Structure 1
Amino acid sequence: MNRRSFIKASSASFAATSFLSLGQALANTKINNNEDYKAIVCVFLYGGMDNHDTLIPFDEPSYSKWAGIRSELLQHYTIKRNRENLLALNTPARFAPRKFALPPEFKQVASLYQQGKLSIIGNVGPLLEPTNANAIESDLAKLPLRLFSHNDQQSTWMSGSTEGAQFGWAGKLNDALINQTGLAPTTFSAITTTGSGLLITGDKTQPYHVSNGQAANINIYEEFDNSTLLKQHFSAMPNQSDNLLEQDIAIKMKHSFESNEQFNDALASSSINLPPFPATAIAKQLETVSKTIAIREQLGEKRQVFVVAMGGFDTHSGQAKTLPQLQSAMDGAMSAFDSAMQSLGLSDNVTLFTASDFGRTLTVNGDGTDHGWGAHHFIMGGAVNGGTIFGDVPEPTLNHALDAGHGRLIPTLSVDQYAASLGAWLGVEQSTLSNIFPSLNKFGALPNLFK
């Protein structure tokens, strides 16, 4: 890999690394040793995962309504969404007589739910204030901007603002933890395996990018006996330029180079024995996260936020073929990650959760569905109040009080409530959460996601 390729491959690390020296990171390790380790891992599902084919009505009356509205789509599935093929869940008594199930591709996820290791967040989405169909039709509702737009709603889920936002809520949570401890920002507290780092970008927090299980590396060193001059060349040092921009770039290059070397050295020097992960892209990303968590002490981190991603959920057509494959990949990856955290003894310390642009319509357009709003999501980990459904799950009908049209669910739980609950678990103070999520006071208490 030449210098230009290195810059391109590690561009996010190069541009966004916290620019701390190795000494600072190690110093912070000693200060943090009295704290318990905690991490949150966001699995972002680009395109808008179909909530109506994630949590499926299982009691006969509700199932019949759901299947009747979706009959044209359901006939295309290879593994039919018949009741006998669905994975019934222990449904909280408050929903009685209604019951729910997961599609057959979520076999391991359903098992995690039944074991109390995973729960479902019902009907969550961006909200500025509680609202309903009446208020929207009467033009009395204060609504998030640019609903149903992919880029804008991805950004809104990650930051509370439409496309062009600078900071994400997980980055702000990490900033708050930095401020509470009084420590300098660290390089490896916010890590992404995907192209976008908005969710984990803050004023003091910058995303560190890893891919294929490691940080960007220059393997040509070995061919030149790890030449000091070659290392100086690739790390842009020494730099004697009087140009301030050139100096800044050189400093960033140097620290990026050192951080990547530190990360890869920590991996190489550690004996990490994890259970096997499937060969899917999302599973390999979660395997990378697992390995990074395994070397947390070498990296000097006690609090971390991660984001991984998978695409393909914009199922306007071909949903019956595409969505089951995506669900199967999620199922294997999430189960493997749970096993990995157990093997590391960190099941209680790490919480995985899903997010997506939006849900989808209950109505179908033939062999697909269209953009929605509220959606159902998963939260997993030993600290989670598992085996339950948080929030609301509107009935599978049209034209009710929470239908924004065509079965687009109007959320009853805000992203702010969801995110603030994760922040509170990480240890962010309540007053700070109210500053990060200014709409919190418009809603009720935070959902009791954790034990």
Structure 2
Amino acid sequence: MNYKNRREFLSLCLKGGVSMAALTSMQLKAMTGMAAPAASTGDFKALVCIFLKGGNDSFNMLIPQQGDPLSAYLNSRQNLAVSDAISIDPTTAVAGGVGLHPALAPIAPLFTNQNLAVVSGVGSLLVPITLEQYKQKSAAIPNNLFSHNDQQATWMQGREKESLNYGWGGRILELLNQHDTFGSNISLSGNNLWQTGPNSVPFAMNKSGITRVSAYNSTSQRTQAFRQQLEQMFSEASHPLAKSYSDKLASSVGNTEQLNQALAGANEFTDVFSDTELSSQLQAVAKTLSVQSQFGVGRQVFFVGMGGFDTHDDQNVNHPALLQQLSQAMAEFDGAMTTLGLSNQVTTFTMSDFGRTLSSNGDGTDHGWAGNQLVMGGAVNGGEIYGSVIEQALDSAYDVGGGRMIPQVANEQYFASLASWFGLSDSEILELFPSLSNFNQTHLSMFS
């Protein structure tokens, strides 16, 4: 049986599920060399990024309990104010007390057990800035605030947008020389800027974790002939473009086969995870982590995504449902990591475009600035709120208009804390996050 050309082969591969991310990864192993030696698990670490797409109203995740802070909250949030918050007792007391949104009930025990922390008042910043400086434009202000695309890029790059767009997740792997194996950089939510570096792109998995090349996986005579022609095509390519094309296809097929073989013996966690989109993605991450030693890597980064957070409308219905799905999935993942004995080696954290306005638009909120983020894992100094719990008061010294609050913690400080735990040196961290030099504190004390 003859395959007429490479176009037919590509069509067959794509019908079988080989992702375009796999096809374009320059650094993936060739099919004939896909087996990798097992890495020591002693120093293994993984970062799992949960990106909340659309701009999470994260101020409503932390709710004041009494006194002036509660009064300010009720006045600013109006019809969006949340009652019945779950009281928490952070290590550093918060004036007026503080509680979690009731939809976050599944992760409340993790905070109490010090497996979860909150980073509060965090957002895009180039320098510390006051309200007067913002109004007078006398200090550097991040470009394109309140824009979804631009602020998503800023959070994923870890700095202001540049001509060459690389993300800090991909770059930390390169700085640690952990990027040359496809298993170190895996996305469950497609291609993304966070995992892209000069020499790396993520390997895209589907949430089931299994991808099959239907034209390649069979014992039939036709398939065996196809495999032989495939290997011949890979070996005979001589033109530089043809060779590059063939190498990428060989890598994609080989990596997919290696992943499938590894996951065939993975823990399925069928009784742990629910059937929401985020839970399914984190289940696939947990399955992959259960066989991480087979990839021969000391570091892994994972990316999962959850949409729907652009809550201009129906916020009182939609936002609690989103937070419940988020907290349920995080609690399930924490349980899976405990089962695997990887709790201290896997840190999960959230990012989002931006926070949202304190003021209600009548049915929801609009694009804001500062917000809160969650960090989870056994290595985290949990049970604490890091940063600054900004009083949710309109027209305060932090409000640039409409309840858009000035961050008191730069997102680069947040990222630097995670990168430091992951193993980067101070000089490497400053290379990744250059605005840190403008702040007195470069790290939050989230890790021992």
Q: AA paired with 2:44?
A: Y
Tell me the equivalent position of 1:47: 54
User: Whole-Å Cα distance in 1 between the matches of residues 231 and 23 of structure 2?
Assistant: 10
1:36 alignment partner in structure 2: 43
Secondary structure of the residue aligned to 2:354 is coil
Residue number in structure 2 paired with 1:20: 29
In 2, distance between residues paired with 1:234 and 1:209? 23
**Structure 1, 101-110 or 335-344: larger mean CA deviation:** 101-110
| Cα distance change of structure 1 residues 161 and 93 upon mapping to structure 2, 3 Å threshold | closer
- 1:165-314 equivalence runs, <5 A: 165-178=164-177, 185-220=180-215, 221-222=217-218, 224=220, 227-232=223-228, 237-238=233-234, 240-270=236-266, 275-314=271-310
Which residue does 1:323 correspond to in 2? 319
The SS at the match of 1:330 is helix
Report the secondary structure of 2:349's partner residue.
strand
Contact 2:420/2:426 (8 A) holds in 1: yes
Match of 1:43, SS?
strand
Instruction: State the Cα deviation string for residues 345-393 of structure 1 (Å, max 9, x = none).
Output: 0100000000000000000100110000111010000000000100001
Identity of aligned residues (%): 36
**Residues in 1 aligned to 2:69 and 2:267: alpha-carbon distance in whole angstroms:** 51
Following superposition, the deviation at residue 270 of structure 1 comes to 3.9
User: 1-side partners of 2:280 and 2:366: how far apart?
Assistant: 29
Q: In structure 1, how many angstroms separate the alpha carbons of the residues matched to 2:230 and 2:390?
A: 57
**1:52 shift after superposition:** 2.2
Higher mean Cα deviation, 147-156 or 159-168? 159-168
**Pair 163,222 (structure 1): closer, same or farther in 2 beyond 3 Å:** farther
Structure 2 contact 12–214 (Cα < 8 Å) conserved: no
* CA distance in structure 1 between the partners assigned to 2:371 and 2:250 by the alignment: 43
Q: What corresponds to 1:77 in structure 2?
A: none
SS of equivalent to 1:143: coil
Choose 413-422 or 164-173, whichever is displaced more. Answer: 164-173
Partner of residue 139 from structure 1, selected from 137, 140, 143: 137
What secondary structure is seen at the aligned counterpart in 2 of 1:238?
helix
Corresponding residue of 2:79: 72
Partner of 1:116: 114
Contact 1:112–1:118 (CA<8 Å) still a contact in 2? yes
Tell whether the 8 Å contact from 2:31 to 2:253 is kept in structure 1 after alignment.
no
Read off the aligned partner of 1:149 and give its amino acid letter. Answer: S
SS of 2:300's partner is: strand
Residue of structure 1 in register with 2:152 after alignment: 154
C-alpha distance 232-410 of structure 1, shift in aligned 2 (>3 A): farther
Shift of 1:328: 0.9
Measured against aligned partners, the alpha-carbon deviations of 1:288-318 in whole angstroms (never above 9, x if no partner) come to 1001111111111221011100000000111
Q: Which moved more, 1:146-155 or 1:230-239?
A: 230-239
Query: Following the alignment from structure 1 to structure 2, what is the Cα–Cα distance between the partners of residues 271 and 51?
Result: 33
The one-letter code matched in structure 2 to 1:392 is S
Whether the 8 Å contact between 1:17 and 1:187 is mirrored in structure 2 is: no
Q: Is the counterpart of residue 385 in structure 1 residue 381 in structure 2?
A: yes
- The CA deviation string for residues 375-416 of structure 1, in whole angstroms up to 9 with x for no partner, is 101000000000010000111112222212111111111111
- State the distance in 2 between where 1:336 and 1:36 align: 24
Q: 2:110 is paired with a residue of what secondary structure?
A: helix
CA apart distance, 1:92: 4.1
Code of the residue aligned with 2:278 in structure 1: it is I
Please give the secondary structure, in 1, of the residue aligned with 2:344: coil
- One-letter amino acid of the counterpart of residue 297, structure 1: S
Q: 1:216 to 1:14 in 2, by over 3 A?
A: farther
Conserved? CA contact 2:121–2:389, under 8 Å: yes
Q: Distance in 1 between matches of 2:34 and 2:420?
A: 25
Secondary structure at 1:354's aligned position in 2?
strand
**How far off its partner does 1:166 sit?**
2.2
Find the residue that maps to 1:191 and give its secondary structure.
strand
| Pairing partner for 1:447 from 432, 444, 448 | 444
Q: Is the 8 A contact 1:45 1:356 kept in 2?
A: yes
AA aligned opposite 2:272: P
* CA–CA separation in structure 2 for the residues paired with 1:236 and 1:187: 24
TM-score, structure 2 as length reference: 0.91
1:123-164 deviation line (CA, Å, top 9, x unaligned): 111111111211011110201111110011000000023387
Matched residue type, 1:105: A
Preserved contact between residue 2 and residue 218 of structure 1 (Cα < 8 Å): no
The CA RMSD over aligned residues, in Å, is 2.3
Cα deviation 1:38-72 (Å, max 9, x = unaligned): 00100000000002211111124322221222223
1 CA distance for matches of 2:433 and 2:354? 19
Are the counterparts in 2 of residues 272 and 294 from structure 1 also a CA contact under 8 Å? no
Separation in 1 of the partners of 2:179 and 2:383? 38
Deviation at 1:333, TM superposition (A): 0.2
Q: State the distance in 2 between where 1:271 and 1:368 align.
A: 41
Q: Greater CA deviation, 272-281 or 297-306?
A: 272-281
The CA distance in 2 between the partners of 1:107 and 1:418, in whole Å, is: 24
Deviates more, 1:221-230 or 1:188-197: 221-230
Separation in 2, partners of 1:167, 1:113: 33
SS in 2 for 1:370: coil
For residue 393 of structure 2, give the secondary structure of its aligned residue in structure 1. Answer: coil
1:3-39, CA deviations, whole angstroms, 9 ceiling, x for partnerless residues?
Answer: 4263374101111252224676655x35x42751100
**What CA distance in whole angstroms lies between the structure 2 residues aligned with 1:431 and 1:407?**
36
Q: Rate the CA distance shift 1:200–1:149 in 2: closer, same or farther, 3 A.
A: same
SS of 2:375 mapped into structure 1: strand
Unaligned runs of 5+ in 2: 1-7
Which residue of the partner structure matches residue 78 of structure 1?
Answer: none
Taking structure 1 as the reference length, the TM-score comes to 0.91
Change (3 A) 1:432 1:66: same
* Residues 1:102 and 2:100 are matched in the alignment: yes
